[in-house]
Structure 1
Amino acid sequence: MPEGDTIFRAARALNRALAGRTITGFHSAYPLLTRFNDDHPLTGQTVQSVESRGKWVLMHFSGGAKLVTHMLMNGSWHIYKPGEKWRAPGSAARIVIETADYVAVGFNVPLAEMHTADSLRRERRIPAAKGDLLNADFDTETAVARILAEADGELGDVLLRQRVMAGVGNVFKSEVCFMTGLYPFRKVGTLTEAQVREIVDVARKQLAANVMEDSGDRIVTWRGVGRRTTRSSAPSESLWVYGRAGEPCRKCATPIEQRMQGKDARVTFWCPNCQR
Structure 2
Amino acid sequence: MPEGDTIHRAARVLGEALTGQAVLRYWAHRPQLLAPRREGHVITAVEARGKNLLIHFDDQRALYSHMRMTGAWHVYGPDERWRRAQARARVIIESEGHVAVCFDAPVIELLTAPELLRHPTLSRLGPDLLAEPLDEDGILAGFARHPALPLGEAVMNQGIAAGIGNVYKSEMLFLARLSPFLPVEAMPQERLRKLVQDTAAMMRRNLGPGMRTTRTGPGSRLWVYERSGQACLRCRTRIQMRHQGEQARSTYFCPRCQGVG
Q: Aligning the two structures, in what range does the TM-score lie when normalised by the shorter sequence?
A: over 0.9
Aligned partner (choices 150, 156, 159) of residue 163 of structure 1 = 159
Q: Which residue of 1 aligns with 2:252?
A: 269
> What is the TM-score of this pair, normalised by structure 1?
0.89
* Structure 2 residue runs without a partner (length 5+): none
Contact 1:33 1:113 in 2 (8 A): yes
Q: Distance in 2 between matches of 1:28 and 1:182?
A: 45
Q: Which residue of 2 aligns with 1:255?
A: 238
Q: Identity, % of aligned pairs?
A: 38
Aligned partner (choices 54, 57, 75) of residue 50 of structure 2 = 54
Q: Is it true that 1:70 corresponds to 2:66 in the alignment?
A: yes
The count of aligned residue pairs is 259
Distance 1:158 1:270, change over 3 A: same
Distance 1:50 1:129, change over 3 A: farther
Aligned partner (choices 85, 94, 98) of residue 98 of structure 1 = 94
Contact 1:125 1:163 in 2 (8 A): no
Contact 1:60 1:66 in 2 (8 A): yes
| Counterpart residue identity of residue 65, structure 1 | R
Aligned partner (choices 186, 190, 195) of residue 190 of structure 1 = 186
Counterparts of 1:197-236 in structure 2, within 5 Å, are 197-212=193-208, 223=209, 225-232=210-217, 234=218, 236=219
The offset of 1:50, in angstroms, is: 0.7
Distance 1:124 1:29, change over 3 A: same
Contact 2:125 2:161 in 1 (8 A): no
Q: Which residue of 2 aligns with 1:246?
A: 229
* Structure 1 residue runs without a partner (length 5+): 213-222
Q: Distance in 2 between matches of 1:127 and 1:10?
A: 21
The offset of 1:85, in angstroms, is: 2.3
Contact 2:71 2:104 in 1 (8 A): yes
The offset of 1:55, in angstroms, is: 0.9
Q: Which residue of 1 aligns with 2:220?
A: 237
The offset of 1:258, in angstroms, is: 1.1
Contact 1:33 1:114 in 2 (8 A): yes
Q: Distance in 1 between matches of 2:202 and 2:124?
A: 20
Q: Is it true that 1:119 corresponds to 2:102 in the alignment?
A: no
Name the Cα RMSD after superposition: 1.6
Q: Distance in 2 between matches of 1:86 and 1:139?
A: 39
Deviates more, 1:116-125 or 1:13-22: 116-125
Distance 1:202 1:124, change over 3 A: farther
Deviates more, 1:165-174 or 1:120-129: 120-129
The offset of 1:129, in angstroms, is: 8.4
Residue aligned with 1:143, SS? helix
Q: Distance in 1 between matches of 2:200 and 2:163?
A: 9
Q: Distance in 2 between matches of 1:128 and 1:174?
A: 24
Contact 2:126 2:160 in 1 (8 A): no
Q: Distance in 2 between matches of 1:125 and 1:170?
A: 19
The offset of 1:147, in angstroms, is: 1.1
Q: Which residue of 1 aligns with 2:141?
A: 145
